[in-house]
Structure 1
Amino acid sequence: MSDSQNNSVAFVATEVIPQSPPPARETGVVKWLRENLFSSVTNGVLTVVALYLIYLVLAATLPWIFNGIWTTSSLSECREVLQGKTGACFSVLTERWHQLIYGFKYPADAYWRPNLAFVLMLVAIAPVLFFDLPRKLLIVTAVYPFVAFWLIWGGSMWVPVTVFVALALAYSAYAVLAKESFAMSAFAFVGVVIVLLMNPLSWLLSLAGTMLSLFTVEPIVVDVTFRTSVVVGGEETQSAFLLSNVFPLIQYPQEFLDWALPVSLPAVPSRDLGGFMLNLMLGVTCVSLSIPLGIALALGRQSDMPLIKGICVVFIEFIRGVPLITLLFVASVMLAYFFPPESTVDLFLRVVIMITMFSAAYIAEVIRGGLAALPKGQYEAADSLGLDYPQAMRLIILPQALKISIPGIVNVAVGLFKDTTLVSVISMFDLIGMIRGPILASTEWNGVYWELFGFAALLFFVVCYGISQYSQWLERKLHKGH
């Protein structure tokens, strides 16, 4: 055997060879820049041009922002302090912030009421947005609209309490009858609401009280008078019945509670609402109402019943073919003609009705696209399980269709919130209305534009960006792509 064969020993590694560090161009910031900004010659040139444009914009705006004045009381004082330098007059924000947020007529000593309503809104909306929270918190969500109404508008506390009790009883009737028949439960819900809110049984109770007075020598009189208006021969006469004295709690629960336990806040008319508070109120209310209405319209448009389908098609196509500003003028001028004579319908309510109808038509088309995207097998699976139409829609079809429709619904919601600024054309002083009206019309701040509209843009951007980020989180949470 040769010496070379005797001296050769086989080598077997006993330890893992340590990993070599990656090249510098494949790690950290250098890798990100190379892959995203300078991945090719064209992208590199576009990146350089974009950076130059950003530099020009920041070079012009940053000195204007950093040299801003916050302590003067007029535009002329701002110019005197700046002495020809470039700088913003942010003093208009420090002096008129309350008008930009609450309007110029809302009582200053009542600012705590919309603030508290806003905080409670965050608590009430949490169980709806984040479904991992306990379902019992939905009770707070159900009660919140009535609490917010009382806080913002004021008046007697028993007005929203009476409406809440009426709706709660109506929902109880719906829940009991829903197991038997969906149509019967729906009619029961509407019927109970009408009975409890319009109180048509008061005529029968009043008649019973009148008959009771024939057999009563000394009626039991409560130290408060409740009267009803009776129209006879075209003339309105006041009639007081014995039942108003004997059973006031049954016939007039709200008036009795106001007399027995008066709890109220100073009333604020809708005309005194304004600023960004009005935009938030319109946005939250109309989005909350338009989503269920849009679902109903989408299902109605796909219905096999010609009458229901025809009504939904006409409604959706008509609303989508008319500009929102036209509907707002209709709400301001003509909508009152569609209500009973001598009835005064609040302008805020009329605007909510029109904006809700407008957004519901668009949401209906978005949801209809989600329903059409589902394979036919999902409907057949619901039929094979023996589910009726309401059960199939609630348990199988709508959950999948709504997940598909999330981006479209969010797009409509963001557009709706920005479109609330159009109410300024019908003399409602929202954030834009306050800027264009009382603030710029004043001699102290006539000529301040960039600061005011920039502040408005910032507020709307924060809200719309938050909605967009929530929708992206919701899509990831629901695994929409699977």
Structure 2
Amino acid sequence: MPGLWRIYRQIQQSKSFSASAVFVLLCALLATALYFLIRWAIIDAVWSGESKSCHSQAGACWIFIAEKWRFILFGLYPPSEQWRPTVALLMLSGFFWLIRQSGHMKYPAGLLILLLDVWLIAGGGLLPSIPVALWGGLPLTLLLTLGALLGALPLAIALAFARTSRIYVLRAFAMCYIETLRAVPLISVLFMASVMLPLLMPETSAPDKMLRALGALILFVAAYMAEAIRGGLVAIAAGQREAAAALGFGRRSYAWLIALPQAMRTAIPALTGIAIGTFKDTSLVLVIGLLDLMTTTRAALSDPQWLGHPLEAYGFAMVLYGVMAWGASQTARHLETTLTHHM
């Protein structure tokens, strides 16, 4: 409890009675909440038996999670092939570890991991193909998130430079794009990609709904990332451009070798928030028929044999979301610290 300890030290320094009373009240409320949580989740919980065993108990019904965890994690993916998304999840966890390492080889290695994950889930060659309609759960959520972030980053960098350009046409286009995409909700962009795009293209050449969702996410996320990177570009001291020009750097070399690395380091906290928000916003792909993690969680609750366990289901999903968000936050903090030391 480092937060409570920090508050306690501040109270000891201020020696205020009202602050001490508030601290004691907060500790009492926290202890009470922890008591009821432990009693519900552990002491009074049901760990084995059938669904009827949970009806007479006031605690959590963890039998429901034991019965439905495969469906929540993998959706309609064939049970005999679920080892493939399991391996893909383990490789994606290695992707976060790889980002924290030094050296330029981590970027092609990270791209290779993502391509292998897609091949494992989709199949082809030595593995039987699995249609996109059967993809779902946590692997689909992570693939959409990482695909959207990696696809949006180059577009966001281009928009950020265009927004700060001296050329009026580029600056106006970037401003219109960013402000338009930020002014509309993501669900409307997904709806346009799902309904309107197939109407504007020949039926045989229209991309499947997975690619349409990924394209909509890329276009939407790029607008937010562009503003975060633009903030980093604006924060660079004006004297650095004159110093770079005096050393013989041209506009392009200054932009890529001096301005962009500093802007990316400054924008890391904002980009981390956008990444975590994108991870949670993938739940909106339900509107185009994709079964992400939250959709499979809600679908598991609709089973007539297991009605009445929303706390267990959403608690399980909350832990998964929390672990992934925490991992992304820690990776971003490590990158920020590493870049600060190297600059």
Q: 280-289 or 455-464, which moves further after superposition?
A: 280-289
Deviation at 1:475, TM superposition (A): 2.6
Q: What CA distance in whole angstroms lies between the structure 2 residues aligned with 1:136 and 1:471?
A: 19
* Structure 1 unpaired stretches of 5+: 1-30, 157-263
Task: Summarize the Cα distance change of 1:138–1:409 in structure 2 as closer, same or farther, 3 Å threshold.
Answer: closer
Aligned mates of 1:135, 1:473 — CA distance in 2: 16
Query: After the TM superposition, which of the residue ranges 466-475 and 349-358 deviates more from structure 2?
Result: 466-475
The answer for the alignment partner of 2:115 in structure 1 is 146
Specify the alignment match of 1:51 in structure 2.
27
Question: CA 1:335–1:42 in 2, change beyond 3 Å: closer, same or farther?
Answer: farther
Given the superposition, is the C-alpha separation of residues 70 and 34 from structure 1 closer, same or farther in structure 2, using an over 3 Å criterion?
Answer: closer
Question: Is 1:445 matched up with 2:309?
Answer: no
Q: Does 1:454 align with 2:306?
A: no
> Where does residue 282 of structure 1 map in the other structure?
144
TM-superposed deviation, 1:321: 0.3
Aligned partner of 1:56: which letter? T
**Percent of aligned pairs sharing the same letter:** 34
How far 1:409 sits from its partner (Å)?
0.7
SS in 1 for 2:305: coil
> Would the alpha carbon gap of residues 146 and 276 (structure 1) be closer, same or farther in structure 2, given more than 3 Å must change?
closer
Per the alignment, residue 230 of structure 1 pairs with none
1:334 aligns with 2:196: yes
TM-align CA RMSD: 2.3
| Match for residue 119 of structure 1 among 82, 90, 112 | 90
Aligned pairs for 1:61-460 within 5 A: 61-66=37-42, 67-74=44-51, 76-79=52-55, 83=56, 85-103=57-75, 105-127=76-98, 129-132=99-102, 134-156=103-125, 264-437=126-299, 439-460=300-321
Change (3 A) 1:125 1:475: closer
Q: Any idea what SS the aligned residue of 1:472 has?
A: helix
More helix by share: 2
Local SS of the residue matching 1:344 = coil
- Write the distance in 2 (CA, Å) between the matches of 1:33 and 1:378: 41
Aligned length: 336
Task: Kindly name which structure, 1 or 2, has the bigger radius of gyration based on alpha carbons.
Answer: 1
TM (norm. structure 2) is 0.90
The alpha-carbon deviation at position 126 of structure 1 amounts to 4.0
CA distance 1:460–1:382, change in 2 (3 Å): same
In 2, Cα distance between equivalents of 1:354 and 1:150 = 22
Q: CA deviation at 1:336?
A: 2.1
Output one character per residue of 1:132-182: Cα deviation in whole Å (capped at 9) or x when no partner. 2x43454433433332222110123xxxxxxxxxxxxxxxxxxxxxxxxxx
Secondary structure at the counterpart of residue 118 of structure 1: helix
Is 1:35 equivalent to 2:17 in the alignment? no
Q: After superposition, what is the alpha-carbon deviation per residue over 1:400-424, rounded to whole angstroms, capped at 9, x for unaligned?
A: 1111111111111111111111222
TM-score by length of 1: 0.65
Shift of 1:115: 2.1
Q: Name the SS for the 1:343 alignment partner.
A: coil
